[in-house]
A and B are shown apart, each in its own frame.
Chain A
Amino acid sequence: MASQNLQSVPAELSPEEQERERAGQAYFDRIIAEDSRIEPRDWMPEAYRRTLLRQVSQHAHSEIIGMQPEANWITRAPSLKRKAILMAKVQDEAGHGLYLYSAAETLGQSRDKMMQDLIDGKARYSSIFNYPAVTWADMGAIGWLVDGAAICNQVPLCRASYGPYGRAMVRICKEESFHQRQGFEILLELSNGTPAQKQMAQDAVNRWYAPALMMFGPPDDDSPNSKQSMAWNIKRFSNDELRSRFVGMMVEQVKVLGLTLPDEDVRFNEETKKWEHGPLDWNEFKDVLAGKGPCNSQRMERRRQAHEDGAWVREAAAAYAAKQAQKEHAA
């Protein structure tokens, strides 16, 4: 098993410690082999902990940064019902961020540190949120395509070998399904609306389609970390496998919408029994990842500003709590 190769017992440990390490590794390997769950107090290889911490915190950051493009339309939502749904959706995302930060904290890092890493540009978040949400139809396309792709990625994570992560994902996926449907419903309403509304919907689908496909990550032959994650039962399906399934679902749903996917090469390959799509611009993907997207600096600046503007509030809450504790202690 790959995990054993990565984890050799350090020589400077005492014999007892070495024995504990060996026993821990054996337990870990058995859990993984049984496809069961690792819990926070269990022994785990450092590389497994690091990988998970990176993945879960990136996921949390994506939820938090992902609030911004949609929050951009809360105040302008064109009906009160849509406004309420959108508010609830963005609020859900804050909730997802919270569960995920909590899950990541069980791996030994504080939320404050993760937040600081995000603000300092040391941590990543999903690149898709560096594209702008310029029309109301983007609320539909983000829900339908971006949340749809996220669900395809995330449902298998409900069975991730790390317990807290898997359990957080169960709840997140339930809410994401609702988000995806509301996105679909927005597009459906627009598509059946005035010509201007329908055009707005098609334009949004055109802009979000390729970035959504790229959310599954680089092609399998260019995805160095995937193999190890699959060996550890964190990841269950390859990037290309998930992308292909997603395309297959979108092909059907776009017909119901009365819109088209901006991809003439979509087809079902009878030989491989897989859906195929046209070429994706991976250079653009890498550029956006490297900070060259239309909104990278804007997203980071908003997060930094909210965090810094809120510093005095967090300090006040901490100071008040300390004073109350002191009072109780004295009483």
Chain B
Amino acid sequence: MTSEHTTDFAIEGHGDISVGVSGAGASGDGSASATRITPGNALRPEDIALEVRRGTAKPAEDVAEYALRLGDDALILAQRLGHWISRAPELEEDIALGNIALDELGHARSFLSYAGGAWDKSEDELAYFRREPEFRSAHLFEQPNGDFAVTIARQFIVSYYQFELYKRLSGSADATIAAIAAKALKEVDYHRDHSAQWVLRLAGGTEESRRRIIQGFRLLWPYVDELFEDDELTARLADAGTGVQPSSLREDFDRLTGEVLAEADLAGEYADGGLGLDRIPQSLGGGRRGKHSEHLGYVLAEMQVLAREHPGASW
């Protein structure tokens, strides 16, 4: 022990409470590129917003509509997952669900920043000042958290869907969509791992946990088909090579989720103790056309309340 005796807390290298005002709140780094990812210089929503403002990245109208869908899915899910922080079954899950929420929020910010380029709107204008029918989220993302099993069932479906989606979109002809998807893909891969492990644990844990995860899947499976529905927009994007037909993801989704569900002994008929997925009626959906669940209004009311109380304010 040498110099430690003389160390004063004000001059130690960590725990500094000086406030470097100039360094705070960087909103876009001029040297960053929205379409290139280099190690240690991850693609940030701010970079996309900057390129949009400069006019170096501008989405076609169709691509913007598409980015809005992807962004809204991620945003509403992040909003849902954020509620778990400080309420999770154990600290590790406060952190894990918080991480997933942060990842999804990051994807949402990137997609919305990019989408806004078509209409001269910021991510926040899109998130906080659109009305319910103007949102494009699918119903699955809007479903309440329920208990931990419901949240895991939703995560399982979402992460396997998003993984297949982003895998294909990382080859999009639109360079910004490709870059956002490539970054998101790595993160969603972890989300898959997290949810699959919990599906196995809950299905193979106790009688109660098995009952709850089965209930969770039965509650949420009606919203699966909507994720894979094609429409005119996705058909045009698929032709242009900028997007994908959702139906083209279904086979891989079914195969990969099927493997986990089989390992969890959930693949069978309901009467035999499985999920009986084939017999679960599918909801009509409509989120992509602005027809939402009853839940979305409450999600937006909470999310938007403060921003709308102070229109035009900066935070």
Residues on A facing B (Cβ under 8 Å): 34-36, 64, 67-68, 71, 74-84, 87-88, 90-91, 94-95, 97-98, 101, 136, 148, 151-152, 154-156, 158-159, 170, 173-174, 176-177, 180-182, 184-186, 188-190, 193-194, 196-197, 236-237, 245, 249, 253, 256, 302, 305-306, 309-320, 323
Question: Which of B96-104, B219-227, B230-238, B284-292 touches A?
Answer: B96-104
Taking CB atoms, residues of chain B closer than 8 Å to A79 are: 124, 128, 307, 315
Contact of B105 among A84, A155, A237 (CB under 8 A): A84
| Residue pair B15, A310 in contact (C-beta under 8 Å) | no
User: Which residue of the partner chain B has the closest CB to A95?
Assistant: B95
Taken together as a complex, chains A and B put the C-alpha atoms of A252 and B16 apart, in Å, by: 15
Asked if A197 meets B313 with Cβ closer than 8 Å, knowing A75-B82, A84-B109, the reply is: yes
| Residue pair B209, A315 in contact (C-beta under 8 Å) | yes
Taken together as a complex, chains A and B put the C-alpha atoms of A311 and B212 apart, in Å, by: 13
| Residue pair B205, A316 in contact (C-beta under 8 Å) | yes
| Residue pair B17, A151 in contact (C-beta under 8 Å) | yes
User: Which residue of the partner chain A has the closest CB to B80?
Assistant: A75
Interface flags for B1-41 (1: CB within 8 Å of A; 0: not) read 10011010110101111011100110000000000000000
Taken together as a complex, chains A and B put the C-alpha atoms of A249 and B78 apart, in Å, by: 37
| Residue pair A98, B91 in contact (C-beta under 8 Å) | yes
Measured CB to CB, the closest approach of chain A to B52, in angstroms, equals 15
User: Which residue of the partner chain A has the closest CB to B126?
Assistant: A80
Measured CB to CB, the closest approach of chain B to A93, in angstroms, equals 9
Asked if A78 meets B310 with Cβ closer than 8 Å, knowing A71-B86, A90-B98, A312-B209, the reply is: yes
B17, B83, B94, B105 interface centre (most CB from chain A within 10 Å): B17
Contact of B206 among A67, A78, A312 (CB under 8 A): A312
| Residue pair B9, A237 in contact (C-beta under 8 Å) | yes
| Residue pair A253, B19 in contact (C-beta under 8 Å) | yes
| Residue pair B85, A81 in contact (C-beta under 8 Å) | no
Measured CB to CB, the closest approach of chain B to A36, in angstroms, equals 5
Taken together as a complex, chains A and B put the C-alpha atoms of A95 and B310 apart, in Å, by: 33
Residues of chain B in range 45-94 having any CB-CB distance to chain A below 8 Å: 45-46, 75, 78-79, 82-83, 85-94
| Residue pair B24, A194 in contact (C-beta under 8 Å) | no
| Residue pair A36, B83 in contact (C-beta under 8 Å) | no
Measured CB to CB, the closest approach of chain B to A84, in angstroms, equals 5
Question: Which of B133-141, B196-204, B245-253, B266-274 touches A?
Answer: B196-204
| Residue pair A180, B106 in contact (C-beta under 8 Å) | no
B228 interface residue per 8 A CB criterion: no
Taking CB atoms, residues of chain B closer than 8 Å to A185 are: 19, 21, 24-25
| Residue pair B206, A319 in contact (C-beta under 8 Å) | yes
B302 interface residue per 8 A CB criterion: yes
| Residue pair B9, A152 in contact (C-beta under 8 Å) | yes
| Residue pair A68, B86 in contact (C-beta under 8 Å) | yes
User: Which residue of the partner chain B has the closest CB to A69?
Assistant: B86
| Residue pair A181, B24 in contact (C-beta under 8 Å) | yes
| Residue pair B10, A91 in contact (C-beta under 8 Å) | no
Taking CB atoms, residues of chain A closer than 8 Å to B82 are: 74-75, 83, 87
| Residue pair B1, A155 in contact (C-beta under 8 Å) | no
Taking CB atoms, residues of chain A closer than 8 Å to B15 are: 151, 154-155, 158, 173-174, 176-177
B98, B105, B307 interface centre (most CB from chain A within 10 Å): B98
Asked if A312 meets B212 with Cβ closer than 8 Å, knowing A75-B302, A197-B310, A306-B89, the reply is: yes
Taking CB atoms, residues of chain A closer than 8 Å to B92 are: 98
Asked if A94 meets B94 with Cβ closer than 8 Å, knowing A256-B21, A306-B89, the reply is: yes
Measured CB to CB, the closest approach of chain B to A31, in angstroms, equals 10
Taken together as a complex, chains A and B put the C-alpha atoms of A75 and B85 apart, in Å, by: 10
